[in-house]
């Protein structure tokens, strides 16, 4: 009965590779997000989707491409991984932009 | 611009003491202010939130106050316990998203 789930939980890969992180929510929410949390614990929004439509894209390099096949899923694909991409990536969902956001367990990405 | 400042960055208290974390926001249109707690290696989880039509909200040992005029809001934890140790984030709703503060690491010593 997990509300927001992400896979994988850990991802270790080399520079230059392409990888994907998957997110699913079973709360029936309309809005989903991707956040990046760096080593200093800063939580920064990357993308927001509402009903499969992109509504926020925060100056993220175009190596990052989100995809929402349906309202319950928001995946993140990253091309040509760089060392600076190492972080914890959190998916979240909410009913709308002004309500509580529920976070997934996070994906710790390490680029070597 | 979009900015939420949070202080202090670290806070150490003795068990039983009170802890106060303060945030300021820049956008007067912000109307939703949640607080999240993140334990080590875990996801952020909502502990309390407040909307702009309310000045104060309390839930057991946790309370949040909002001063819209000054664009300040604060988290108050009374009778702190070691399990309150975590990183706490404030946030403000700004144009269809939440902007998070930089976090406060709270350490409660027994």
- Structure-token pair, residue A7: 């896979």
Nearest by CB to A105, from B43, B87, B99: name it: B43
Give the integer Cα–Cα distance in Å for A107 and B71: 34
Q: What is the pLDDT of residue A51?
A: 87
Are B91 and A45 contacting, i.e. CB atoms less than 8 angstroms apart? Answer: no
Running DSSP on this structure, what letter comes out for residue B82? G
Nearest-Cα residue of chain B relative to residue A102: B45
In chain B, the residue whose alpha carbon lies closest to the alpha carbon of A89 is B43
Nearest CB to A100 within list B34, B96, B97: B34
CB contact (8 A) between residue B103 and residue A41: yes
pLDDT score at B90: 97
What's the mean pLDDT in B61-71?
A: 96
Query: For residues B59 and B37, what is the distance between their CA atoms, to the nearest angstrom?
Result: 14
- Chain A residues with CB under 8 Å of B32 CB are 98-99
| Nearest one of A103, A91, A110, A112 to A38, comparing CA atoms | A110
Tell me the average pLDDT across B60-72.
96
């Amino acid at each position: 009965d997990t509300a927001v789930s992400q896979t994988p939980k850990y991802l270790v890969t080399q520079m230059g590779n392409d990888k994907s992180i998957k997110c699913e929510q079973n709360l029936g929410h309309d809005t989903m997000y991707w956040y990046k949390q760096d080593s200093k614990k800063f939580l920064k929004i990357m993308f927001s989707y509402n009903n499969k439509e992109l509504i926020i894209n925060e100056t993220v390099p175009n190596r990052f491409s989100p995809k929402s096949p349906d309202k319950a899923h928001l995946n993140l694909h990253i091309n040509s991984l760089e060392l600076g991409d190492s972080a914890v990536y959190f998916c979240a969902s909410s009913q709308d932009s002004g309500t509580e956001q529920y976070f997934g367990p996070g994906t710790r990405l390490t680029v070597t | 611009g979009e900015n939420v400042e949070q202080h202090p960055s670290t806070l150490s208290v003795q068990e039983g003491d009170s802890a106060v974390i303060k945030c300021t926001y820049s956008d007067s249109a912000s109307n939703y202010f949640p607080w999240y707690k993140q334990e080590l290696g875990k996801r952020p989880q909502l502990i309390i939130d407040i909307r702009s039509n309310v000045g104060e909200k309390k839930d057991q040992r946790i309370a949040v106050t909002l001063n819209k005029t000054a664009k300040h809001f604060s988290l108050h934890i009374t009778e702190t316990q070691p399990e309150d140790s975590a990183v706490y984030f404030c946030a403000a709703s700004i144009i269809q998203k939440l902007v998070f503060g930089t976090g406060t690491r709270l350490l409660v010593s027994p």
